[in-house]
Each structure stands twice: as structure tokens, then as C-alpha cells.
Amino acid sequence: MKRSLCGFVVFLVVKWGPGHDTCSGLSASGRGRPDDLCQLTRHHNYKEMLELMHRVHRRCPDITRLYNLSGNPGTTVEGRKLAVIVISDNPDRHEIGKPEFKYVANMHGNEVIGREMLLQLMHYLCDEYHKGNKDIRKLISITRIHLMPSMNPDGWEKANKSWNMSSSEGRKNAQGIDLNRNFPNLNRIVYINEKKCSKNNHLLNYEVLKNSTFAPETKMVVHWIMDIPFVLSANIHEGALVVSYPYDETRSGKPKELTKCPDDATFRYISLAYADKHPVMQKPHPKCYYDGEWDFYKNKGITNGANWYSVKGGMQDFNYLSSNCFEVTLELSCYKFPPASHLIKYWNENRDALLNYMWMSHIGIKGQVKNENGKPIANAMIHVRNLTDGMDINHDITSARDGDYWRLLIPGRYNVTACAVPEYVCVSKVVTVENPVHSEAKKVSFTLPWMAKSANYRKI
């Protein structure tokens, strides 16, 4: 159920065979009944999932790209690939200033709604782009969207063979590993560092991945997260109806306890962006088995993960502590593997929320860090002090290879500092963030002087 990294990794771009159109009655052009909902009448196995992804690429070749995560061996234990589709107006490469976004589903093989929602979402984005939907075309033009329908395709196959709406069969991968307890545990490191006022970001030591306890799926996703400068992500699960945000693991080691991260306000803001658009999450509804004593709707459909229950080695906290990526967990239903006849209902409930959450890639500020010669500076540190409450946000992000950065922030007034020591002088700027709806993040770029030219800390 619950939950849920930059290095270099080679991705294999694939050209899957055209196969057959899974939905009968639709032409190769993709024209069919409104919103092309036919694929939501059934659950799709691995082969069918790839066929549907290829079909979207065939219909929208200019705005999509297909690739598989790579690694050693580059497949699951049973030989399946972790397939991804990119949707953007320039899908083949990262563009300076354009945020990278991802949705990951089916991390637990028996939790399948997210898998079908992402298959439908890619069709929907393709269709609406061609229909001229202004919001969708704008979102696609200013965002690079990565959709992974299944992180645990082996587990799905096992769950499908022993179908049960709430069974745990197939939750783990083919090795019997729970993938959402299998990521390097960086919480313990940051909790120690907090006491020493030490490093609060990018805590991954790649050597740890040599440990044989990490599943191939985990290793591939770790390299993926570390290679692409993702800004925002959501990990889709089932078993409850709530949006959960970091931290997932308690500081104290207790089974559950409110455990805020430095960006707690921002995480609550983006979590509400999803829950606010969901027609059920914030209204009274029957409790799920895994809710425990919580009535999540009373907290507007969101929860601090560790306050629900503590998770060690989860993907959500790993994203936040190893990279610049903010990730939440979307729990979409009490039922993990519902009948296919329920899928259209889940799509109708989640479509607007899925879209609205992607727009959260554009809150806060973004820009580029360069030196006085105009050369981009990678790995510059971006530190933020909230002038509204006078507190430092003790989680820094870094600029990507092209010097571009994105810093998710809620509306307010901030002092933003860019540093690349010891070569350059730090520069600070005071900015006001407003986050207008469906707009790009406010642009705040920095030019850092050479340290040799000035021994002073420069403020602008």
C-alpha cells in the first residue's frame, strides 16, 4: 500500500512493435468515443500495457518518447522492463528551465488502479493536445512529463493470477522484496545531521547500491531519479484514500508520530492541490481498513506520512533527501485490485486532481545560475529563508548540469541565496512568490562573481 534520486545512467530508447490496438473499434489514428475510455473496461497485463503505451506514441509521435529504465541487469527478475513514456513538446531531451515531472504507479504489484490511471492519463493528454485544449497544450509545452505505469510488473502478474480486491498477493517483487521498504534509508542520516547543523540534502552515497539487498527495480529507479533533474513526483498506491507527504519515517523511532520535514508547508500545499480536486477525499466517506484511527477527510484528505505510520526505506523520503525532487504518495482507493468495471469511476474521480498536481511543478521560483562569463554553474546551492516567518528552510536544492534550478515554494516573501563556493561569491535576492494559477514559476536567476574579485558577501 503506502509509498512510495543526479549521476549518469544510459536509458534505452525503445521502439515497441505496433502490436494490435487493445481497444476494438478504434482506428489507428486514435479516433473513437470521447476521451478514449475503452481501455478502462479491463485490467491490462504487461504486454497489453506496452501496446497501449506504443499506441499513444504512434498517435502523438511529436510530443512523446518511449524508453525503458536501464541498469545491471536492466530488467526485473522475471525479465520485464520498467517502461516510461515522456510527454512534452520536446520529449527527447531536457530543456533549460523546463521542470521534469514524474508519476510512478504499481510499486506494489497488487495495487493496480494507478497503473490504469496512468495508461488513461497518457491517452487523455495526447487526445486533448490534438483537440487544442489550451490548458493541456500549455502544460505539455512547459513541462516534461514522465509516466511509469508499473514499477513492479512481476508483482502485478502474480496478483492478477490470484485476484482479490484486498489481497496482499503480488505486493512484493519476484524476489519477495517490498520495493517501498527497499530504498537507501537517508532519514537516519538527515536526522543525525540536523543535530549537527550539517548537510541536509543530496545524501546518497552510490557505494551503498552495491549492497545485494537492493532489488533491481529499486536500483534502476534510484539511477533514474539521480540522473534526471526531477522537480516533482507522486507515487500512486491503493489501500486508503489520502495524500501522504514527508517525512514517512519518525525521528524518534516510534511506530507513528508527526514528523515534519523542512518543507512541510510546501508539501501540505501541493498535497492539497490534489485533494482539493478529488470529489471524495475531503468529504465524509467510509473508512478504509488501513486508515487505523484516522478519518483523513477531517484533515482535508492529507496526512503526514510518519503520523500515519512510520516507513523505513520508502521511495517518497528518498526522493526528497537524495535529489531536488519533492514526492508525495497518492492513495486512491480502499480497494487494491478492484473489478475493472470500477476503473471509469476512479478515472472520473482522479483526472482533474492528476492534472492539477502536475501544475505544482510550476510553483515557487526557477532560474539559472551562471558566472560572470555567462557559463552555467552546476551544483550551485540554493538556500531559502522565509521572511514571512523569519525561519530558514533547512533543505537546500542544487542547480542541474545546465545551471538551471527550480525551488518549490508557497506564496510569501523570501531571501534566496545562490552559492558555489569556494570559486564564487554567494549572491542573495529578496523575492515575492504569488503562484498564479497555471503559470510558470517566477524567474529568479543569479550571476555569481569570482571569489578572487571580491571578498564580500554580495546582496542584491
Catalytic residues: 331
Q: Which amino acid is at 394?
A: N
For 91, which DSSP code? T
- 3-state helix vs strand vs coil in the chain, percent to 5: 30, 20, 45
E strands present in 283-352: 302-304, 326-333
CA dist., res. 314 & res. 312, Å (int): 6
SS3 391: strand
Q: Which of 65, 97, 70 is nearest to 81 (CA)?
A: 70
Beta bridge partners of 68: 12, 83
- DSSP SS3 for 180: helix
Asked if 393 and 386 touch (Cβ cutoff 8 Å), the reply is yes
Residue 458, SS3 per DSSP: strand
Dist CA 47 CA 65 (whole Å)? 18
- What is the identity of the amino acid at 307? N
* Gap between the Cα atoms of 343 and 40, Å rounded: 6
Burial zone of 193 (CB within 10 Å; 0-12 exposed, 13-18 middle, 19+ buried): middle
Omega prior to 297 cis, within 30 of 0: no
